[in-house]
Structure 1
């Protein structure tokens, strides 16, 4: 079993910063990163190859971004499940099914890459376009443990042969940058623990996604900070070890 944090942002072309992030992640038991731009793969993949790490993309753009991702799918550092590269799609339901069906038929009709949809509308799994579902956000929930188990049941009911990859999160607070859409107190790590307990109870076949590693705007980050030190990296290591041994 593996875990991958989403929301890796603001790396630019700084290999030293990338190397630092990877080292911190590995100490926390994290196996790979999910980045937000296909162009970041050119920076991360070469370093990941030398460090025993993996990287993939959460697609939030259109066809050009999708095609850019496919240029990297043979890289040995690409995140894989059963030998297949894995690609995450942010808010997959917004574009409508016809677009994704057209792109799948055009770019990857044989499902060489596994496509995982974001969102909590699990009937999307009835569409052959998708190989699984990985909801991006959980920190909005007041009862994340039960929510993650409920999502697992819905995913298996709608796509019994498809992947369900649950998210875990330390909390959130975007009130400093916009009208708040997510404010969830971290409770000194208790909220993070509740999401991990729910993810483990959901019995995913493969991985969980840490949402996020360094999304500071929404305060979902686990990377070291002045406020929390390395508390959330240490917690991630503890929970990751429990998950991988479950």
Structure 2
């Protein structure tokens, strides 16, 4: 007890001595006048914005929920993709009509769509497809990357995919006025959709498209004709005879161009060309992508020579694929992205096959993990790669 009291007295004495020495020192220091207080330049404040380390690309903030582990992004070598809603930075393309780049596009999302329980990644900005700001942002991203149009999934007249396609055409007209960039989109006729899944329904839907959209300046035309794409035309028991009948009803003089999804060249007896939504993924998995694309080019060229026709080869490119989280889907599979290598291989093979068009699977098929739209995991990596290859393709 005595030792504790003695120790306390010593500590108090020491503190008093230190305080006296401090006060004495302060009397000898000249205090800076208030008006001469040091100023911190705006560029050096603690709240200054960090330098943009992503090639001056500006993308919206990422969502805060748990996300997949990011993959390292390679440094791009091309001009950065312009910011969304900033059309003055988009460069017009001299020959975009001669070398179209068309991305499959899905206008069906709502805010409740975005969950990692049913898709492998999330967009940098979660959106509603029908919002004007969303459509503007997507058009600016696409145009900045050298895409010349979308192939918009269509489920029939009056469906939200129909309503949103109408908005897309209006926004494309605004983009052209503001940036002198012609963005022309087509429709992907979803043959299994409830409003299109019989010959009569398909004929009705095609008549609607022909009458409502085909003459729009921002509907994709090739050599003066409006173009339509058809998903799985021979699926679920559909036959070429049925398609021949539908075409005779809707387009008897072949004033439109119809591109069929599939590998069967017999489709060319009714349709005007082939495309692969799958982008020939087996070539990506087996390291034979150049042979796959060139094989289709050769088949269509041989058909044209034998039949004196001008059927169209649309080579497909794909960044990767992952539909393993789609609820209830059987037979799921993945095509790894390999940090951009898959996409690069796909583009190189497509360009080498000398196609009339190149299609991208896809701009925003999030459920199947085949999107190039900016994402939480990959940022703008795939838009930047698209820009590099699209500009090479445009020449």
What is the root-mean-square deviation in Å for CA atoms of aligned residues?
1.5
Rg larger in structure: 2
The Cα of 1:93 is off from its aligned counterpart by: 2.1
8 A contact 2:275–2:315 mirrored in 1 = yes
Which stretch has the larger CA shift, 173-182 or 45-54? 173-182
1:170-209 pair list within 5 angstroms: 170-177=319-326, 178-205=329-356, 207-209=357-359
Q: Which stretches in structure 1 are left out of the alignment for 5+ residues?
A: none
Distance 1:180 1:105 in 2: 36
Task: Find the counterpart in structure 2 of residue 5 from structure 1.
Answer: 103
Task: Find the counterpart in structure 1 of residue 186 from structure 2.
Answer: 56
* Residues 140-185 of structure 1: CA deviation (Å, up to 9, x unaligned): 3223232111111122222442111111000101112234433111
8 A contact 2:107–2:165 mirrored in 1 = no
8 A contact 1:212–1:222 mirrored in 2 = yes
1:44 aligns with 2:157: no
Change beyond 3 A, Cα 1:98–1:139? closer
Structure 1 ranges of 4+ moved more than 6 A: none
The Cα of 1:195 is off from its aligned counterpart by: 0.7
Task: Find the counterpart in structure 1 of residue 79 from structure 2.
Answer: none
Distance 1:180 1:101 in 2: 32
Distance 2:334 2:277 in 1: 16
* Residues 14-48 of structure 1: CA deviation (Å, up to 9, x unaligned): 22111111000011100001111151321211111
* Aligned length in residues: 242
Distance 1:79 1:181 in 2: 32
1:73-152 pair list within 5 angstroms: 73-94=214-235, 95-125=238-268, 127=269, 129-138=270-279, 140-141=281-282, 142=285, 143-152=288-297
More strand per residue = 1
8 A contact 1:2–1:31 mirrored in 2 = yes
Distance 2:145 2:233 in 1: 29
Task: Normalising by structure 1, report the TM-score.
Answer: 0.93
Q: Which stretches in structure 2 are left out of the alignment for 5+ residues?
A: 1-98, 110-128, 157-161, 176-181, 197-201
